[in-house]
Amino acid sequence: MRAARFFLSITLAVPFATMAALVAPCAMAMEHAEIESAFSEAIAAFEAGNRLIATDEAAAQVEYEKATLRLEQIIREGGVENGKLYYNLGNVWFQRGDLGRAIVNYLRAEQYMPNNINLQQNLAYVRQQRKDAFEQTESRKVLNTLFFWHYDVPSGIRLRIFAVTFLAFWGFAAARIFYKHGAINGGLAVTGVLAGLLFVSLTVEARNHRAHPTGVVIAQESVARKGDGETYQPSFSESLHAGTEFTVLEDRGEWLHASLPDERTCWLPRRDVALVAVDN
């Protein structure tokens, strides 16, 4: 764990500092000067923690907690929400050893900057540190293979490709009015099919995210149950652990009906989880 923390503190220090330019336009409850002050304190605490982590971990954790409080204050009271802020909040939570909240904030950052390489690398690394591992079902493996462009290509890239193919389709359509060339017909067909598939992909993804939001276990251990109450039997022989991701099938207030990556379902207490959607 110590080596991982050192890696993150070195590679992510620069993005942390560059967030300052994104704070000012979003000020709401907090004044501009208060936001800048809170962010400066967060930077100072984060960097102090990085300096202390190798020699005095307890003191480093105190500094990381200060950074967390200031960053969350900016979100809560300042109304600031952007990829850089959530990205660096994820970094701080990882430094604190909290895999669940680190993943939640990385996934929130991903909503704003889905193609950021550093973010994707850090998210993949933190996911590798989780206790719980899930084996994909055969049907899911087949779907992921057949529709890799839907599951593996970030939505931001798919949206850009859709825009290009959509414009190209109408370009070929306009050219076909004046020219009856086979290549134009072929281009019209190819771009039409691609634009259609990407449109369906983006639409389905957007609907799924609204109907079935993503969540993450943030408690160190959470007992998954067969129903929405403590009186129900546990769903599994072992508890779920921090960082486990799931899809919400049903929301009953204090309990969420969850689908795990291996498609098993269970009920989780809301107090043990956080939803990725930024407004939660």
Handedness of CA 70, 72, 74, 80 (dihedral sign): positive
Please name the CATH architecture into which domain 2-128 falls.
Alpha Horseshoe (1.25)
What's the pLDDT score for residue 19?
A: 47
What's the pLDDT score for residue 156?
A: 76
Q: Which two tokens stand for residue 113?
A: 């900057």
Distance in angstroms (rounded) separating the CA atoms of residues 201 and 114: 16
What's the pLDDT score for residue 140?
A: 65
Please report which residue ranges of 53-154 form alpha helices under DSSP H.
Answer: 57-78, 83-95, 99-112, 117-128, 138-146, 148-151
Domain ranges of the chain: 2-128, 138-211, 214-275
What's the pLDDT score for residue 278?
A: 67
The CATH number of 214-275 is 2.30.30.40
Q: Which residue has the tokens 């956080």?
A: 274
What's the pLDDT score for residue 73?
A: 93
Q: Does pTM surpass 0.95?
A: no
What's the pLDDT score for residue 146?
A: 73
Q: What is the residue-level pLDDT of the chain in tens, covering all 280 positions?
A: 444 443 454 344 445 544 444 444 444 568 888 988 998 999 999 999 999 999 999 999 999 999 999 999 999 888 888 898 999 999 999 999 999 999 999 999 998 888 889 999 999 999 999 999 888 766 766 766 777 767 777 777 888 899 999 999 999 899 888 887 888 889 899 999 999 998 988 888 777 767 779 999 999 999 999 999 999 999 999 999 999 999 999 999 999 999 999 999 999 999 999 999 865 4
